[in-house]
């Protein structure tokens, strides 16, 4: 299952996008994860300083 970003906690710092080996994270006011590209490795979640990412 793809990880999800909690928009209320996301500050769009870019740490998750830089950590994602599958390039599944896109930028915006908050970031989002494409479930089709996500390989469920958890690199984004462990890199997020706000704990805004969790397993779906």
Q: Provide the domain limits for residue 27.
A: 3-55
Residue 28: per-residue pLDDT: 85
Q: Look at the chain and report how many structural domains it folds into.
A: 1
Structure tokens at 43: 């690199």
Q: What is the pLDDT of residue 43?
A: 97
CATH number at residue 41: 3.30.70.20
User: Tell me, what's the pLDDT at 53?
Assistant: 97
Q: What is the pLDDT at residue 46?
A: 97
Query: What does the pLDDT look like over 2-56, one tens digit per residue?
Result: 899 999 999 999 999 999 999 999 998 889 999 999 999 999 999 999 999 999 7
pTM for this prediction: 0.89
């Amino acid at each position: 299952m793809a990880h999800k970003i909690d928009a209320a906690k996301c500050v769009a710092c870019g740490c998750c996008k830089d950590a994602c080996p599958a390039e599944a994270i896109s930028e915006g006011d908050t970031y989002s994860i494409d479930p089709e590209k996500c390989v469920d490795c958890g690199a984004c979640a462990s890199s997020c300083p706000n704990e805004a990412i969790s397993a779906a």
